[in-house]
A and B are shown apart, each in its own frame.
Chain A
């Protein structure tokens, strides 16, 4: 074995660590670069605001954008209250007994279930058993179940970051547990919950498998009327035009990918900026 001098081995290790970091970011940049390069020519106001034409080979992707938008909006309205309430219960009320340990364990494990399993579960429960049909609401419910563990975990993190001394101060003034949560804990946990929510929106915008059997349609000639409608959705639309339609112009495929990418990236950036902003304001 060759013994390197300490100086040389320091340089060598540094290079190794540096290269590993590069390996992590290079693919991301390459993906973004390729998508932007091939897709930017398709982007226009018309592409974003009109219906697909000629077997989806021309025209815009408005129904897919609106479809994704409505599924995500619907899902977030379900996830947020349920997730925050569950997090409040687990963090502020639950005694540390066997039952809560089981609940916490299953929340962690729920996050490890493959998304396609959630999709099939949603098909069985919401689409067929509750007879919601393939619809926005069925897709949103499926996404909710999938994302709830993550939201609960982030919300708990946000609640935990509020110092215990604030709670004690409030209790010692004769304020009840619930009023303390409402007037002290929640206002201070809100920034964390908010950033977590934006990231959740980003994540579920791009989810394909859970909505595959529960909400997404191959092609819908009109815009969604109600939450019981089937809709087109960006991730699924991207899958279809990439695999199911012959002679699909390449720039439309990349353009769709670019729009989806931009939606997700913008959300993540907003979350990042919000986090920095709130961190600066927080002084305790």
Chain B
């Protein structure tokens, strides 16, 4: 069974039909990339998987998205619980303007997952180690998160997500604010994380999709055009639109 099953999923922003009958199955412990030109709906689809699009005024959906077999748009679903299970990292690093430590501990404290200081210390250390940030900043955990470089900030944001113990991590163009060197480093991190997490990454950058993902979905104008192994999408796509896009004929 797939980790995330999207079935006949439609999304509307008021009158705008942003996602049209999307069907896609995302497998566990793999990196799935979503590519396509701006406005094709790839971010909207990503943002539907943790229902953060609910916060957008006028957004409504039809169809289903099942995670581990459970439809997340079911009325009984606890959205808070869902979002803890499905973490999200955004385009621009968005650490809170508080200390590094408090950033990572934020989810634990506010959601009252843990209150014991030793437990929180442990989770903070583990999360920062998982994003390979611990050795650089272990002596300045009390410093403001905004004093870090952009790359470190983005790693911190990933650590903040890991701290609430998700199964799935959604990355919305996580490297678009970073320079090439930092991008490579964050990509390496993403590849490492796939052993423990199911990862979905939206990216503008086709080379990035080719480098980090196992599967790639190509979207256009709110529709899923093609979904297959990354290798296949980039070397031998079955649809003309896909091949036009990946060879750079448009987009």
The residue in chain B whose Cβ has the minimal distance to the Cβ of A167 is B55
Size category, A interface: 20 to 34
Interface size on B, residues (CB 8 A): 28
**A168 & B106 in contact (Cβ 8 Å cutoff):** no
**B164 & A165 in contact (Cβ 8 Å cutoff):** no
Which residues on the B side are within 8 Å of A269 (C-beta)? none
Interface of A is mostly: helix
Interface residues of A in 211-235 (CB under 8 A from B): none
Q: Mark A177-197, 1 if CB is under 8 A from B, else 0.
A: 101000110001000000000
Which residues on the A side are within 8 Å of B164 (C-beta)? 173-174
**B97 & A168 in contact (Cβ 8 Å cutoff):** no
Stretch at the interface among B66-74, B79-87, B114-122: B79-87
**A283 & B97 in contact (Cβ 8 Å cutoff):** yes
**A175 & B96 in contact (Cβ 8 Å cutoff):** no
**B146 & A284 in contact (Cβ 8 Å cutoff):** yes
Interface residues of A in 66-121 (CB under 8 A from B): 95-96
A283-B146, A284-B146 are known contacts. Are A165 and B57 too (CB-CB below 8 A)?
A: no
Which residues on the B side are within 8 Å of A280 (C-beta)? none
A95-B57, A183-B106 are known contacts. Are A175 and B80 too (CB-CB below 8 A)?
A: yes
Could you list 10 examples of A-B contacts with CB < 8 Å? Answer: A95-B57, A168-B88, A169-B157, A175-B80, A175-B110, A175-B111, A177-B55, A179-B110, A283-B97, A283-B146
Q: A171-B83, A174-B111 are in contact. List 18 more A-B contacts (CB 8 A).
A: A96-B57, A165-B90, A166-B94, A168-B90, A169-B96, A170-B96, A170-B110, A172-B50, A172-B161, A173-B107, A173-B160, A173-B161, A173-B164, A174-B107, A175-B80, A175-B107, A175-B110, A284-B146
| B-binding residues in A (CB < 8 A) | 95-96, 163, 165-177, 179, 183-184, 188, 282-284
| A-binding residues in B (CB < 8 A) | 50, 52, 55, 57, 79-84, 87-88, 90, 92, 94-97, 106-107, 110-111, 144, 146, 157, 160-161, 164
